[in-house]
Structure 1
Amino acid sequence: MIIVHDILQARENIEGVIHETPMLYSAQLSEICGNQMYFKGEHLQKTGSFKIRGATNKVKQAVKQGATFITAASSGNHGQAVAYIANQLGVSATIVVPVDANESKLNAIKAYGGTIEKCGTTSAERLPRAKVLAREHNGVFIPPYDDPFIMAGQGTIGLEILEQLECVDVVVVPIGGGGLISGILTAIKQTKPKVKVIGVEPQTANDTFLSLKNNKITAIPPTSTIADGLRTSQPGNMTYPVIQKYLDDIQLVSEDEIKQAQAFVLERMKQLIEPSSAVTVAAAINNKLGVKDKKVVCVLSGGNVDIRKLPYLSS
């Protein structure tokens, strides 16, 4: 498992590349939820999501060891982040994406200098292909979540939350493969263990929920959700033990709840977030956090939205 020291080192390593994102507050959501509601704005992060933190930490390490070609498997945000930092460091990057990847995310990967290859619809399909490409070209594969450098990079969000809101009571985090929440859990639980951390998954992509219920890593069949960044087959071998050790609670939200939360944030807070971010807000709005009169931080993990799909918000 990673420790706080790893996260502090990651913070030094990624300084100058990433933004320290703002802590937002909503009086209206606070009234609705019965808590003081704050929002960690990773949708305002460079490349549009938290992924740049872990990607920068890992790619810098790979380049330091001599890498000149890297690959990644991603539904979009991780790929954008890897393409961006690879381009900044002068190395080539190929990103393996699902065949139904968000068009805006694909365009961003190309804009950051990445080469795109499409493969399947699940992480179980695209991960092996990215690893093959790395071997064929003597390159380095950059995992989306199951890697200590990735986890430590994402954990820097936890450090920032504790500094920006010292008296925080609850932190709510989206769960995909577990890189984000395992990093945040490590930063928070090894620093201020009394702070409660709640994970949120879509009902249709509940692999971590089932894994915790079964007390072992549990894979789910291929699935679909509008929160495409959370569509993983199972939690990571490295991330799951951290989640199992530290996570206080996990909640599931429906597709309709995610849509409504995304629409609410856009309409009332004037913030454009992607569905993967909206799961934390959905859990809060629908009274799934189990707390009242507390200072709650919802992590808004990304804002890379295909604007051509926005009409669904009014359906």
Structure 2
Amino acid sequence: MMYPNVKSAYENIKSEIYFTKALYSNELSKRVDSEVFLKLENQQLTGSFKIRGALNKLKVLLQSYPDIKKVVTASTGNHAAAVSYAAWKLGLNEIIFAPNSISESKRHNLKKQNIDLRLYGNQSVETEVYARLFAEENKLPFVHPYNDLDIIAGQGTIALELMQQVDRFDAVYVPIGGGGLISRNFILFKSLNPQIRLSAVSRRMPQ
């Protein structure tokens, strides 16, 4: 799955999402003596890039299985919000599984969105396994938070927008969690310019 799949994903979702700004950062540019741009996906629908993958996945599902009424996923935050919004937009219902260890603030935020939230297990992996089994037993589609080609293609649409907004890149820094964001963007940037340096960035945990 290369560039054409990302273009197809963008055609699926571009009318439903924000074309987020690529903001020039004076402060960061001075600190590293280079031009630095920030892609403001925090201003995207539902507050993160996750809506790109969720919308694309559900639209692809509906193209293949137009009679589906409900989907299942497992998440503790941004993916849950994205799937819930995408499901609402497309006239579907959703069931979101989360671990019992989810913070009270996240639980409150999800409940506030009228999500059908169900708690199971104490670790995200345990919850995900249970959610997949639940979906299989009930013959419902499972929307994986990151390990899914349609999800990954949707996240890759960020690169398509960036290439319209900034003339040339020497390096791109991508935050990493499950890997869905960096994987497709990495392939897309590298396929168009092998000289681009792409780095994964993770937050430093408090000591």
TM over 0.5, yes or no? Answer: yes
Contact persistence 1:74–1:96 (CA under 8 A): yes
Aligned partner letter, 2:80: G
Contact persistence 2:71–2:142 (CA under 8 A): yes
**1:97-146 CA deviation, whole Å, 9 max, x = no partner?**
23333545444433444211123343311111111221233211000111
Q: CA deviation at 1:256?
A: 4.6
SS at match of 1:129: helix
Identity of aligned residues (%): 38
2:133 is matched with 132
Q: Does 1:30 align with 2:26?
A: no
- 1:60 and 1:112 mapped to 2: Cα distance? 21
SS at match of 1:184: helix
SS at match of 2:72: strand
Q: CA deviation at 1:96?
A: 1.1
SS at match of 2:194: coil
Aligned partner letter, 1:49: S
1:255 is matched with 205
Contact persistence 1:69–1:137 (CA under 8 A): no
1:52 is matched with 51
SS at match of 1:20: coil
The structure-2 alpha-carbon separation of the partners of 1:17 and 1:128, relative to structure 1 and needing over 3 Å to count, comes to same
What does residue range 242-281 of structure 1 map to in structure 2 within 5 Å?
A: 254-256=204-206
SS at match of 2:174: strand
**1:78-110 CA deviation, whole Å, 9 max, x = no partner?**
010001111111211011123333545444433
Q: CA deviation at 1:4?
A: 0.5
Unmatched runs of 5 consecutive residues or more in structure 1: 203-253, 258-315
- How many residue pairs get aligned? The number is 205
63-72 or 167-176: bigger deviation: 63-72
Aligned partner letter, 1:51: K
- 1:77 and 1:103 mapped to 2: Cα distance? 15
The structure-2 alpha-carbon separation of the partners of 1:122 and 1:183, relative to structure 1 and needing over 3 Å to count, comes to farther
1:86 is matched with 87
2:42 is matched with 43
- 2:112 and 2:170 mapped to 1: Cα distance? 40
The structure-2 alpha-carbon separation of the partners of 1:255 and 1:35, relative to structure 1 and needing over 3 Å to count, comes to farther
The structure-2 alpha-carbon separation of the partners of 1:26 and 1:106, relative to structure 1 and needing over 3 Å to count, comes to same
1:97 is matched with 98
Q: CA deviation at 1:29?
A: 2.0
- 1:128 and 1:58 mapped to 2: Cα distance? 19
SS at match of 2:110: helix
2:176 is matched with 175
- 1:21 and 1:121 mapped to 2: Cα distance? 35
SS at match of 1:190: helix
What does residue range 299-314 of structure 1 map to in structure 2 within 5 Å?
A: none
2:153 is matched with 152
Q: Considering only aligned residues, what root-mean-square deviation do their CA atoms show, in Å?
A: 1.8
146-155 or 162-171: bigger deviation: 162-171
